[in-house]
Each structure stands twice: as C-alpha cells, then as structure tokens.
Structure 1
Amino acid sequence: MYSILINRAARKLTLYKDGKFFRQYTVAIGKPSTPTPVGNFRIINKAVNPGGPFGARWLGLSIRGYGIHGTNNPSSIGKAISNGCIRMHNRNVIELFNLVPIGTPVRIV
C-alpha cells in the first residue's frame, strides 16, 4: 500500500510503500495568495492528458478543486507559484500516476 506525504516548506512529495520510503520528488506548491491546503486527503480520481496547464497526468484530491498534476511550465517546479495544486515534472507525475491507486492517502503538512 502506498501513501504520500507532501511537505510544503521543503517543496517535496515523498512516496511511501508499506510505510517505508520509496521515492521523493521536488514539487511546486501554491503561492501565498492561493496556498496549498494542509490536511489529510485521498486520491479520488485520475486522468491521462487532462489538457491545459495540467501536464501529462492529474490525480484529484478529496478536497474539491485540488490535485497533484504535471505541468506545461517545468521551470515552476520547486517554487510557490500554483493556485494551490501540487505540480510535478511530467515524467515524475507519470511515474506516480502508474504506481498509486485511487484511494491512496495524501498528507499535506
């Protein structure tokens, strides 16, 4: 079973498998005026090539309107620049998308 921890201060997404560290990725988070929400969520939907600024994959969270997704602006990764979503490099979000099922817990701190 997978779980995801997103550390906003470090701008890192850490993927755990069976409670043990598995992978880590640098991410972009929400800008100060539209911060990434803190709390415990789940992945509730997934989409391939969702279009627009969402890059190659979308993993929707159980808080309406927020998700983990790719980007058409790779230079934004590592910055506080989004409207609250978590952005990843497309190659990384494709890897994550292929690993985690709907229902995966996501904790944002």
Structure 2
Amino acid sequence: MYFHSYIDPLRAPVAKYSITINVSNRRLTLFQNGKVFKSYPIAVGKPSTPTPRGTFRIINKAFNPGGPFGARWLGLSRKGYGIHGTNNPASIGKAVSNGCIRLHNPNIIELYNLVPVGTSVRIV
C-alpha cells in the first residue's frame, strides 16, 4: 500500500514571534519560536519623551500611515505608542522620537509582514 503524506494547511505549524526592544542599545530583536530571527537598528524616545519600558502587545497595524510614521505602523497596547517607519532615516540610531520606536522603512515593511496583531513586545 502507498500512503500519500499530506499536510493540512490549516494545521501547519505557525511561527510564533515576539519582539524585544533594547532602548540603550537602540536595537529591535525579532524572535521566531524563541530564537533570534532578525535584528534592526532603531530610534527611540528623547530624554523629555522617553520610550516606555514594559511588556506590551501589538494591537493594530496600519499600511502607509504617512508623514513621520513612514511606510507602516504597529500600534502598541500602551496608548499613543507604536513601532513605525520614518520620513527621517538619519534619525535611526538616535534618541529623538516622542517615545515611539522608529525603523528604516524597508525594515518596518519586513517586520509588518511577519508579525501579527497580538505579538508580544518587551521594551527594556
């Protein structure tokens, strides 16, 4: 007898993502199934408007929000804060934002395409 192996796409394993943001190192690290998958340089909040520390979740996503938010927006469960692109790429690596986390537009597009709403975001 011949048995054909079949993988049901509805039961296929789904990658689980989480994000850790290190404010002092100005890096966002994306974990896939608990292992480092990608790392990106970021901009963070300036001293007068610091990036909040803690554990949050991505609660919404926006495609091409425009202006200072660049190509994509990932809203956090902390009201008014998010991870987004930028119309000022020279700001990456600096503490210059109003508390949000900025990435280069190609990086936020990649991240946006990978992580679903509900992804855990830990900011340290």
With normalisation by structure 2, the TM-score equals: 0.88
Give, as a single letter, the amino acid of the residue that structure 1 aligns with 2:102: R
Distance across 2 between alignment mates of 1:100 and 1:20: 15
Distance across 1 between alignment mates of 2:52 and 2:21: 11
In percent, how many aligned pairs have the same letter?
74
1:74 to 89, 93, 118: 89
- Structure 1 stretches of 5 or more lacking a match? none
Matched residue count:
109
Distance across 1 between alignment mates of 2:38 and 2:68: 24
Question: Which residue is equivalent to 2:104?
Answer: 89
Whose strand proportion is higher, 1 or 2? 1
Structure 1 stretches of 4+ with a deviation exceeding 2 A read none
- Structure 2 stretches of 5 or more lacking a match? 1-15
Pairing 1:42–2:57 present:
yes
Distance across 1 between alignment mates of 2:67 and 2:88: 11
> Displacement of 1:58 after TM fit?
0.1
> Displacement of 1:51 after TM fit?
1.5
Instruction: Give the alignment's Cα RMSD to 1 decimal.
Output: 0.3
Pairing 1:63–2:84 present:
no
Question: Which residue is equivalent to 1:51?
Answer: 66
